[in-house]
Every structure is written in C-alpha cells, then in structure tokens.
Structure 1
Amino acid sequence: MFNLHYLLMIVLLVSSPSRAADEDDDDGDEGLTVHPVSDSGAVRSVCKPVPNTMGLCSGIGYGEMRLPNLLGHDTAREAQQQSASWIPLLGKHCHRDTRRFLCSLFAPVCLPEVPVPVRPCRSLCEAVRDACLPVMSAFGFPWPEMFNCSRFPDGPELCVPGERDANRETTTGAPTGSVICEVCSPDSAGEREIQQNFCKSPFAFRLRVGSWSRDGSDVRVVPQGRSRVLRWQDHQLAAGEQSALWLPGGRDCSCPALDGPLTGSYIALAHMTSGRMLLTRLLRWAREEKELKKFIRGMLRRAC
C-alpha cells in the first residue's frame, strides 16, 4: 500500500506553490498510446472513471482508469487523495513526461481488450527518474522503491511509452519540441524577463487560461473569463478587447506553462501584429497569490 508519510515528505520537498488540484481540467491534454500487447497475467481489475477532481490526471487524455492501480489503491478516491501529493513536482518541470509517468501508476489507462492495468515502459520510468531525482536528492529524498524502474517492461510487452518514443503516434497534447519556447521561460527566469520587458511591451495581462489549440505552426491561447489589463498602449482598441493570444511557432517548441492542468494565474506580455495579439512572454505564477500581487504592484509603479 502507498506510504502516505512518504508522500507528505514529498510535498515539503516540492512545496514551492503548485497548481490547484481542485479545478476541473478541460484542456484536452495529450492522449497516450501504447506499444504492442502481451498480457503478463497480473491480477484482474475493473474500470472506473478518472475523477474530474483528480488534479494530477484529470484531462490526461483517457476517461477511465484501472483499479486497483499499480500502487495498490483500491478506489478512485484513495488514488485521488494519494496522487495530490505529487502535483507540486509537476511545477518543477524536471521532465516533460513526469505527469504521464505518475498517471500511469495512479490512474493506469483502461483498455477494454486488456483486463489488467497498463504499466509504464521502463524507458519512460528511467527518463523521468534521471531528470527528477536530482531535484529530490537536493532535499535528501531518494527515488521511491515503489517507482523502481525494474518493475516495468523493457521489451515488446504492452506499456505506456514516453512522449518522444519512436513508436508513439502524434497526439494533441501540449506544445512539444527539443527546446523551450522563448516566450515560455519558466519560473524565476520568466519573472525577471517580464520585469525587464514590461515597459517595452504594448500589452500586459494577468489572466487565467481556459484552453489552447494548435493552428498551423502557432498555438492559440484562449483566456478564461475577464483578464486584468496591466498595460494597454494601443488606443485604437478597447481595453481588454482580446479573445485570444497567439504563441508564434508554438508547434515546434515546448511551453511548460501550458503543460498539464491549466490552473492558477498567468502573466502575459504581448504585441499586436496583423490583427493578432502575439505573446512575447507567458508565465504561470508558481508562488503564493500575495507574492503575485506584490509582483504586479512593483511593475505598475514603474514610470514607463
């Protein structure tokens, strides 16, 4: 059975503010594909809906999970409660497949023709382990034995591959690429860039992201609700008159700010080109709300 005490320690490890786990995710996050099948004879299980309130895995790309899962949780409620402790690790952006790997354990995909949970491929486990272990080790935590990569298949057996595995089909997941989009510099680097470029940008917003979609080589980001306008230089447009923000070239690079559930607040800088409002910086706020308010007040006090 899963070690709750260990999970609570992990929360402390990755306790820099995380995304809220109690908001539904409707962004259509990437679906998973699997390698060709072979049944390993594991204990039979049943399919249950992935809870909308399961912040780690809601919107992962499939609607049903196998229970018991690969960590011994017998109910969706138990899996949801235990998985919540791992959500902050996603905010570290240590590997693009961290969420995929964790969900393959907490909420393994249910395939009607396969009566057992589909395990992650060993290569997926090893890639996430090698990228995230340094973050954990910095705080004195080892890679959990329950995530021991030797447990998982390394051959033709049915398994969940990593996003960039050669046999994986194209999906509709988050923007991906070999480099992070310049617009999407993460965490502290992004904060510095927004501070440095605030007065140079004709448009700046605090917003929530409702959804995003690909449009050719670009990514279209749709705000949720009314954005707070921080800077608006174009007097020919009514303030706040933006239905979408565009990430140019977003198809060919990765944007951590759009990876996983689209929760929390964002800061965006933009300019207008050919009738489109193009993002120049997009940052998902990773600290407390009061720190965000302080950050915004500091920018607004500038004599631009």
Structure 2
Amino acid sequence: MTKMLAPLCLCRVTVALALLANLVHLSSASEYEYISWKGESFGGGRVYDKPPQCVPIPDDLRLCHGIGYNQMLLPNLLEHETMAEVRQQAGSWVPLVHKACHRGTRVFLCSLFAPICMDRPIYPCRWLCESVREGCAPIMEAFGFPWPEILNCDKFPQDDVCISSPNVTEPTQPNGLSPVCPACEENMKNDAILEHMCASEFAVKTKIKEVKRENGDRKVILQKKKKALKLGTLKKKDLKTLTMYLKNGADCPCAQLDNLGSTYLIMGRKMDKQYLITGIHKWDKSNKEFKKTMKKLKSHKCPVFENIFK
C-alpha cells in the first residue's frame, strides 16, 4: 500500500493531526472493531479484488478537493472502487453543500467519499452524522430527497476513533432572518447553476402565470409558452401542462415568485406525482456571466449520477 499516516494514538481528548486538520476525535474506548483492508470482507461483507490505495484527491472532485488533506483511500468507505464512481456520487452532493445547511456537511461527506489515508478505516462520529442530518434533511426533503439509507447514522461509532469537526454541533442558522426556501437562492453562482442543472431531472425557460398555497406547499402554475433546456424524464406532452411545487414553501421567502412578470430558468424533478422546483433563477439577458453559463450549458456534460436517494 502507498505510504500512510503514522498509526493513531488513543487518548481522551480531541487531537490535531497534520493532514487531518483537527477532524479526528479519539477516546480510550475500544468497542468499535476495525476491519482489515487486506483481502477481508468490509462493511456489508464485500470483498475487494485489490488492496486499498492511497491516491491524490483530484482537482475535479470538487466536494472534497481542499478539504484539509491531499490524499484519500480507494476503495472508499461507501464501496466505490474507482475514481469515476467517486466523482459520479460526490458530484450530486455539491449543491447541498452550497446550501450551507450545516457547518460540518463537507467534513462528514468527505470522510466517507474521500477517507483520509490511515492503516485502518476511520468513520465519521455518529453525533456528527446526526447533527448534519438534523440540519440538512429538511432541505433535502424540500427537493424530494429522503435521507439515504447509506448514511444511516446508526452505522457509525459513538465513542471510538472517529471523524469529528470542532464547533459544528449546531446546524447553520441565519441570524434573525426567515429562512429562504432552498430552491430560491437569488445569488446563485454560475458554477452552482450548472451543478443544479445536472442534479435536476429537467429544466425550462418560462414565465409564471400564478402562485397558490396548497397543503403547506406553494403551487406554481407556469405559462403555456415554455422552452425545455433539459427534458430528462419529462415528456413533451407533460411540458404543456406543467405545474410545479415548492415543497414546504408556503411560508418561506421566495422573491422570484413575487415577480410574475419576469422570465425564469426553473429546474425540477418528479417526486411521486408532483413536479418539485429544485432551483429557480431569473433569466437575465443583461448579465454576461449568466449568458456565458447558458452558452456553456449546450456543451456541458453532466456526470451520470447513481440514484442513492431511494
């Protein structure tokens, strides 16, 4: 195996490791059993053909590049055996990190997608998983995504050597402000627009005819004239009568839905029998960066995401 970090020393306090950037929490407990990487079954009983390698975190693995260490184990702790698999899966989480639903989201996800090189697997602490889930699950639900089973917090250790993140025990909260609906971020960066487009099933350019409240959601009735920028699973016959919903958005601010005279880029996905809004951005022809992004969209290749949100 490629050269690893020095073995961990057990102690009762949080320690700082050079490459771990103060993310590893250690205690004297020994109940959590480490499973060898060398030819034995790991996780759910899977056996790997090759021993794990310590490989550089590539620049295009945006979720974890610059996380505080430069190399990761492959296969990772989510059983991805190739970097292509890691890229496909990790890319679908980048929009969630942009939402800043919890300060520890990136640390938690990268401890699984791009685990630090050690001589044994180091999992995220259960409390970190639970704290991130508490802060981010409501936003994921707004997009129609349940918290996935592969991130079941009960799987992770409570008191043994585990990945922690200092001072992130509480979800990120805006100070004294009403939370903006997750899909309604007005100042979405251009890279984020492309990421949202890739993470969404379809996207249309259209105006809004009417907005209503319905069962805690906001029902968004679109005008008949629409231009499909990405059809995905959406059929052309459904495009004509497309009505969308802002999940749990009856009371949260969404400035875009207050101005029915503008044209918008609206992204979405189907959940059960509803079409949910995953992103809404003003179609601003005077914005050079936005025009550049829309032009780039024509040749932009999205990663093929495996659906883990079942």
**Superposed pair shares fold, TM > 0.5:** no
Higher RCO structure, 1 or 2 (CA under 8 Å, sep 6+):
1
Q: TM-score range by the shorter chain?
A: 0.3 to 0.5
TM-score by length of 2: 0.44
- Which has more radius of gyration? 2
